[in-house]
Structure 1
């Protein structure tokens, strides 16, 4: 039998609450990305760039003030920054080809990916019930992909199959990033992690923008309608990145990714109350 006194611990309750706030934040980034896509703005790396700059400036300033040596080798953060930037790039790019609902559902691929990676590299053990739950999750994702492939209309996007593939690739990179962050935040330091991730994320993003998105940025008509989703995305991402290491340290990356499953629920609530759409 399940011991509910052990399950509903203070640590678990805080983790659940924080997880739901993170889920709401990630839903907000989905809506801002979808809004930019509707406006014909195709600059996925540029969307994330401002977040990395915020992280580098704010947490880098804290690091300089503390004057402490790095607990992890600085070059460990280069591949982490690369994986994180490309994960964001692929998922944001997917909004141009498939629907918001498909992106949020398929993003759940990070859950089985995280479980496999934590089992291999962090030696995390999972009970049979959790494994069965993940298999059900994977089966649901396969159904979503097939429904996109065989959909009679393409109102949800110009190329749903391509969008789905981008989300799955991005979710896999998210999983690698989450597990790496869990390891670093438990063995190094949260402020150090965010500052270095912000620094290398900003550098990698700037290089990628100069190669892939320079002409796109020049062609954008920078009205309030275009600028506000950019800023909203950056603020939501900054809060998300700032709080993720706290949940990773206390409850682990599996709890994080399970919490993000409720992003679909928040998406429906936002559509109903903010956009007056029917659920």
Structure 2
């Protein structure tokens, strides 16, 4: 099929084309060119041209927003522990219940109760496994704070990256550019510096003594494993289904699973917990932060990937440090700022590799087909861009034909 004039103009003079229009036209080009040709075109745009893309700044800001929300929820957990309230399962129940009320209600409004029931019946077992991994991830990370501190528990987050990358490679057939792998290595190196500052210099013990650091780290490691599984599954789901359906089904089944777990394991903890105005406020803050996290995360799964989302979470350690110093009165080591800069550098390197692979970056999912025909057309999905690009080019060609008579 011959190239349209707008597409030719965009390739020859990319600097003269608005970013949004350029991405759309390249989305159309993505259906006509091979990956090798796309890589060559990206190289012609320049090594650091990705810094000028709207996608880069969007995904970077989304990642940092998620990191701050995640750190904030962890802070509220630490504050609850300081009050003598440790209820790992019950604490997260309100988050799932809130999401369930919002997204399940909206899904039923969009689909009707009959179709919603069909989804729950036919695909319920998939969502139950997804919800189970998510519930257990939240349960064990909250449990970890019973034995260790916010800084130590967050250091284990890098393991979720290993789980996500491995599962994405083996199950979703994602293939990573060497720059992406380099970015992951740089980020993990930053995590290594954090581990060194906490466990070798003993700076963590100066400000906050862990009850049982080894047990706490093991619980955090287990939580990261569950999170890795749930992140990959969620990326798969939100690329094929509307976000409100995925979040609604997750929340519906998670509310049930979490409720049973809280009733079974949190009875004694609930009875011995401290209950006052501060505790209620901390629970409210925890619920709002976590619900906001769950609402925002699918956007970054679509625009980037579960791997990039977890890389972004690593900067949460720096935000956790700021909160630890000014709120929890912990003391840190001077290596923390260096580690933070390494993690940011790793994110830049990872995104550079992502943009050099194709015009649509990681928004293009390999399990959805070459033209993303098996995916949903939703916000930040590659299929929506391709559909809009095809429509825009079609309108442009039709206009030329009308003008030509």
Q: TM-score, normalised by structure 1?
A: 0.90
The answer for the alignment partner of 2:294 in structure 1 is 241
Report the Cα distance in structure 1 between the residues aligned to 2:172 and 2:300, rounded to whole angstroms: 16
Deviation for aligned residue 1:126 = 1.1
Report the Cα distance in structure 1 between the residues aligned to 2:274 and 2:217, rounded to whole angstroms: 29
1:102 lines up with 2:165 in the alignment: no
Report the Cα distance in structure 2 between the residues aligned to 1:158 and 1:270, rounded to whole angstroms: 20
- Whichever of the two has the greater Rg, that structure is 2
Give the one of 60, 71, 77 matched to 2:104: 60
Aligned residues: 279
Give the one of 34, 48, 57 matched to 1:4: 48
1:88 lines up with 2:138 in the alignment: yes
Report the Cα distance in structure 2 between the residues aligned to 1:156 and 1:272, rounded to whole angstroms: 14
Report the Cα distance in structure 2 between the residues aligned to 1:262 and 1:141, rounded to whole angstroms: 10
1:267 lines up with 2:320 in the alignment: yes
Taking the TM superposition and a 5 Å limit, the aligned residue runs for 1:181-192 are 181-192=234-245
Give the one of 207, 211, 218 matched to 2:260: 207
The answer for the alignment partner of 1:156 in structure 2 is 209
Q: Which digits, 9 at most, give the CA deviation of each residue in 1:194-240, with x for residues without a partner?
A: 11111111100110111110222123342111111111111100000
Report the Cα distance in structure 1 between the residues aligned to 2:300 and 2:186, rounded to whole angstroms: 25
Report the Cα distance in structure 1 between the residues aligned to 2:260 and 2:209, rounded to whole angstroms: 32
Decide which moves more: 183-192 or 266-275: 266-275
Deviation for aligned residue 1:85 = 0.5
**Contact persistence 1:145–1:164 (CA under 8 A):** no
Taking the TM superposition and a 5 Å limit, the aligned residue runs for 1:143-182 are 144=195, 148=199, 155-182=208-235
Q: CA RMSD in A?
A: 2.6
Deviation for aligned residue 1:271 = 4.3
Relative to 1, partners in 2 of residues 1:67 and 1:32: Cα closer, same or farther, differing over 3 Å? same
**Contact persistence 2:83–2:274 (CA under 8 A):** no
Relative to 1, partners in 2 of residues 1:243 and 1:111: Cα closer, same or farther, differing over 3 Å? same
Aligned to 2:283, the other structure's residue is in SS state helix
**Contact persistence 1:149–1:160 (CA under 8 A):** no
Taking the TM superposition and a 5 Å limit, the aligned residue runs for 1:7-86 are 7-67=51-111, 69=115, 73-86=123-136
Report the Cα distance in structure 2 between the residues aligned to 1:74 and 1:145, rounded to whole angstroms: 44
Deviation for aligned residue 1:267 = 2.0
Q: TM-score, normalised by structure 2?
A: 0.63
Q: Which digits, 9 at most, give the CA deviation of each residue in 1:71-115, with x for residues without a partner?
A: 671221101111100011111111111121111121121112111
Aligned to 2:314, the other structure's residue is in SS state helix
Deviation for aligned residue 1:151 = 5.4
Task: Report 1 or 2 for greater relative contact order, CA contacts < 8 Å, sequence distance ≥ 6.
Answer: 1
The answer for the alignment partner of 1:193 in structure 2 is 246
Deviation for aligned residue 1:3 = 2.2
Report the Cα distance in structure 1 between the residues aligned to 2:323 and 2:192, rounded to whole angstroms: 26
Give the one of 123, 127, 130 matched to 2:180: 130
* Residue segments in structure 2 that go unaligned for 5+ positions in a row: 1-42, 333-405
Relative to 1, partners in 2 of residues 1:206 and 1:272: Cα closer, same or farther, differing over 3 Å? same
Relative to 1, partners in 2 of residues 1:223 and 1:277: Cα closer, same or farther, differing over 3 Å? same
Decide which moves more: 186-195 or 130-139: 130-139
